[in-house]
A = this chain, B = another copy of it.
Amino acid sequence: MKPFTNLIPFEKAKRMLLDNIKPVEEWEIVSIEEAIGRVLTEDVVSPLNIPPFARAAEDGYAVIAEDTYSAGRYNPKTLKIVGEINTGEYKDVKITHGEAVQVSTGAIMPKNANAVVRVEDTEINDDELLVYRPVHPLFDVAPQGEDIKKGETVLKKGELLNPAKIGALAAMGIPKVRVYRKPRVGILPTGDELVKPGEKLEKGKIYDVNSYTLQAVTLMNGGIPKLYGYVPDDPKEIEKKLMEAMENDIIVFSGGSSVGERDLLIDVISKHGHILFHGVQIKPGKPTWCAKIGGKIVFGMPGFPTSCLSDAYQFLMPAIRKMAHLPPKKERIVKARMTRRITSTLGRMQFFTVRVKDGFAYPAYKTSGAITSLANSDGYIIIPTNADLVEKDDEVEVHLWGEQL
List the interface of chain A (C-beta within 8 A of B): 1, 32-33, 36-37, 48, 50-53, 57, 59, 85-91, 104-108, 119-120, 142, 146-148, 154-155, 160, 162-176, 191-199, 201-213, 215-217, 219-222, 227, 256-261, 303, 305, 309, 312, 321, 326-327, 329-330, 332, 366-367, 369-372, 374-375, 377, 401-405
Contact = CB atoms under 8 A, between A and B. Distances in A.
Contact of A371 (B86, B90, B119, B167): B167
Given A59-B260, A104-B261, A170-B212, A405 B37 contact: yes
15 contacts: A1-B59, A87-B192, A87-B258, A87-B261, A88-B192, A105-B258, A106-B193, A146-B367, A163-B217, A164-B213, A170-B209, A170-B213, A171-B207, A173-B197, A220-B405
Given A51-B206, A369-B142, A372-B154, A119 B259 contact: yes
User: 7 nearest interchain CB pairs?
Assistant: A88-B193, A175-B198, A162-B403, A88-B192, A164-B374, A104-B258, A90-B204
B197 A175 contact: yes
Contacts of A205: 52, 88, 90
A198 B173 contact: yes
Contacts of A327: 404
Nearest to A364: B164
A160 B76 CA distance: 64
B258 A106 contact: yes
Contacts of A119: 1, 259
A147 B48 CA distance: 62
B375 A167 contact: yes
A286 to B, nearest CB: 13
B209 A171 contact: yes
A90 B199 CA distance: 17
B108 A372 contact: no
A176 B203 contact: no
A252 B175 CA distance: 22
A228 to B, nearest CB: 14
A155 B375 CA distance: 8
Contact of A375 (B86, B154, B332): B154
A153 B287 CA distance: 32
Contacts of A52: 201, 203, 205-206
Given A193-B87, A197-B169, A207-B170, A212 B33 contact: yes
Nearest to A303: B106
A59 B287 CA distance: 14
Contacts of A312: 163
Contacts of A107: 204, 258
B204 A88 contact: yes
